[in-house]
Amino acid sequence: MAIGLMGGTFNPIHMGHLLIGEYIREEWKLSKVIYIPSGNPPHKTGGEVLEASHRVKLVQLAIENNSFFELSFIELNREGFSFTIDTIRQMHLEYPYEKLYFIIGTDTLFELETWKSFQKIANEIEFIMYGRGRHSKKDVEEKLQNLREKHGFRIHRSNGPEIEISSTNIRDRINKGLSVKYMIPDSLIEEIEKESLYKGE
């Protein structure tokens, strides 16, 4: 069996995260996709990231109707900063007999070399990358080749659709009182309204 791991701040999780998770699950015949909200991400500081308890609740609401999706508290229960290398190693311990894939977007592709112990990460897990339109095809191909040849990253490409939805844009629209319908599930819209999240940013 194979399992997909999708990490992120999910601030908030949106339809793009869900659609890509489902598409890659079928494309790569994964038994499930595990969403892993970051607890204290080292690359995002200050007040830009919503409190973890709220982000987790939104992920729970978003995936509750898909039996192939799961939520992991692995990074939320870790003290200090959350590093991907620690998450990958713990997941290998929890799933010693399953093949694990780390699912990333194109933007993350250009950040991999800044991750803690990125060379060890390259040796310990394979990646599935889905496309996003921010980078040119030429830049993406060159970066993929560099990571593969220089560091030994094993990165596969998904044929999934381009999803031009961003958490940043969602937060901005909520703050301005604009609609985010069809960008996030209706259950999330209700929770955000109830808790007055992303207001006054």
Radius of gyration of the chain (CA): 17
Six token digits for residue 43? 């690359």
When pLDDT is cut at 50, 70 and 90, the band that residue 112 belongs to is very high
Q: Please name each of the domains of the chain with its CATH number.
A: 2-164 (3.40.50.620)
- pLDDT for 97: 96
Question: Is it the case that residue 89 has pLDDT exceeding 80?
Answer: yes
- Helix ranges (H only) for the chain are 15-27, 52-63, 84-94, 106-109, 118-124, 137-151, 167-175, 186-195
Q: Does 200 score more than 90 pLDDT? A: no
Q: Quick one: pLDDT band at residue 160, thresholds 50, 70, 90?
A: confident
Q: Out of 27-31, 111-115, 137-141, 161-165, pick the least confident.
A: 161-165
Interatomic CA distance for residues 73 and 57, integer angstroms: 11
Select the more confidently predicted residue: 136 or 93: 93
Contact 12, 188 (CB under 8 A): yes
Strand 69-71 and strand 32-37: the pairing is parallel
- Burial (CB count <10 Å: 0-12, 13-18, 19+), residue 80: exposed
In the predicted structure, residue 132 carries a pLDDT above the cut 90:
no
Indicate if the pLDDT at residue 114 is higher than 90. Answer: yes
Alpha carbons within 13 A on the beta-carbon side of 26 = 7
The pTM assigned to this predicted structure is: 0.93
Burial of 7 (0-12, 13-18, 19+ CB in 10 A): buried
What pLDDT band is residue 79 in, cutting at 50, 70 and 90?
confident
Write down the pLDDT at residue 155: 97
Q: How confident is the model at residue 82 (pLDDT cuts 50, 70, 90)?
A: confident
- Angle between the N-to-C axes of helices 52-63 and 186-195, in degrees from 0 to 180, rounded to the nearest 10: 150
Closest C-alpha among 166, 90, 100 to residue 134? 166
Amino acid 44: pLDDT: 56
Split at pLDDT 50, 70, 90, the class of 149 is: very high
Note the pLDDT of residue 42.
58
85 pLDDT band, cuts 50/70/90, is very high
pLDDT at position 40 is: 63
User: Could you tell me the pLDDT band of residue 36, with boundaries at 50, 70 and 90?
Assistant: very high
Contacts of 65 (CB under 8 A, 6+ apart): none
For range 81-106, the mean pLDDT? 94
- Separation of alpha carbons 32 and 22, rounded Å: 9
Name residue, tokens 């007040």.
Answer: 47
